Amino acid sequence: MSMTSLPPTAEQQNSQLRRNEIVSLVRQRGFVTIETLARQFGVTVQTIRRDINQLSTDGRLARYHGGAGLPSSVENIDYPARQVMNLAEKERIARLVAAHIPAHASLFINIGTTTEAVARALVNHEDLHVITNNLNVAQILSRNTNFRVIVTGGVVRNRDSGVVGQSACDTIRDFRVDYGIIGISGIDSDGTLLDFDYDEVRAAQAILHNARQTFLVTDHSKFTRRPMVRLGAITQISALFTDEPPPPTIRAVLAAHSVAVHVAAL
């Protein structure tokens, strides 16, 4: 006896149309929050979560905490989207990092929305000397007249106010500081640190080599991302600051090399 497939129901058709439109929106914007999508389509956040889960399974989108983005190894999510992505988690991480930075310390702070959150958490510290290739960080920290803020030379990227190029690396190498605070775009399962931009990676590598201690600040979504440019190994850092425990394979690497892990609790 032959079996005939039943035609899709109206609900299934609506779901498929909505999911196609979600993919189109994410392609336009780079990242869209669950709340925005729920308002856009007039459905519940639970419905959008189911849509994103299915689209992620199908490989059409990447699922992130709070929304959906592009599944790319060569292109980062747009800066405005990254500013709101996992914002509460980044702020928790930032407060924890700030608690580990004493007064009268010298720091490198590099490009990224998590490092910018750290800068905001450091504003009320006393007598910090900061070298940064991030104009947003410089602007945040310059609110405290008790700080000395040095901006590297280099080319300013319009998309995120990061400063990159050989001059940025040269400036960083002119200093030896107490703490380097770096962000990252992805961490592979073996602990390889990955990013999207070669010039940005070169500046971060200079920080790794010229800070007495390096703090890696990253939310949990970076443990599932695979950009293509290698920065280094997670074993090169002094401590990891994140919002959830790392996956087991990365935890094993960290433990084997005695790298401290600090998880920012709710």
Looking at residue 145, its amino acid is T
Q: Are residues 65 and 92 in the same domain?
A: no
Tokens of 88: 């509460």
Q: Which domain holds residue 96?
A: 84-263
Q: What's the CA angle centered on 225, arms 224 and 227, to 5 degrees? A: 155
Q: Are residues 155 and 117 in the same domain?
A: yes
Residue whose entry in the numeric block shows the structure tokens 């006393």: 126
With respect to residue 76, please indicate whether it lies within any of the assigned structural domains.
Answer: no
Q: Are residues 132 and 53 in the same domain?
A: no
Q: Are residues 145 and 224 in the same domain?
A: yes
Model pLDDT, residue 83: 65
Q: At 178, is the pLDDT very low, low, confident or very high (cuts 50, 70, 90)?
A: very high
Of 171, 83, 82, which Cα lies nearest the Cα of 130? 171
Model pLDDT, residue 23: 87
Position with higher pLDDT, 74 vs 126:
126
Query: Over 194-222, what HEC string results?
Result: EECCHHHHHHHHHHHHHEEEEEEECCHHH
Would you say residue 170 has pLDDT above 80?
A: yes
Q: Are residues 60 and 115 in the same domain?
A: no
pLDDT digits (tens, 9 = 90+) for 240-266: 999 999 989 999 999 999 999 999 987
Q: At 81, is the pLDDT very low, low, confident or very high (cuts 50, 70, 90)?
A: low
- In the chain, how many domains are there? 2
Mean pLDDT of 36-42: 94
Q: Are residues 95 and 178 in the same domain?
A: yes
Burial class (CB in 10 A: 0-12, 13-18, 19+), 75: exposed
CB of 144 closer than 8 Å to CB of 124: yes
Model pLDDT, residue 2: 45
With respect to residue 207, please indicate whether it lies within any of the assigned structural domains.
Answer: yes
Q: What are phi and psi of 156, to 5 degrees?
A: -85, 125
Would you say residue 117 has pLDDT above 90?
A: yes
Give the pTM. 0.74
Would you say residue 22 has pLDDT above 80?
A: yes
Of 176, 165, 186, 168, which Cα lies nearest the Cα of 232? 186
- CATH code of the domain covering residue 67: 1.10.10.10
Q: At 68, is the pLDDT very low, low, confident or very high (cuts 50, 70, 90)?
A: confident
Q: At 1, is the pLDDT very low, low, confident or very high (cuts 50, 70, 90)?
A: very low
How high is the mean pLDDT of the chain? Answer: 89
CB of 259 closer than 8 Å to CB of 240: yes
Residue whose entry in the numeric block shows the structure tokens 């919002």: 243
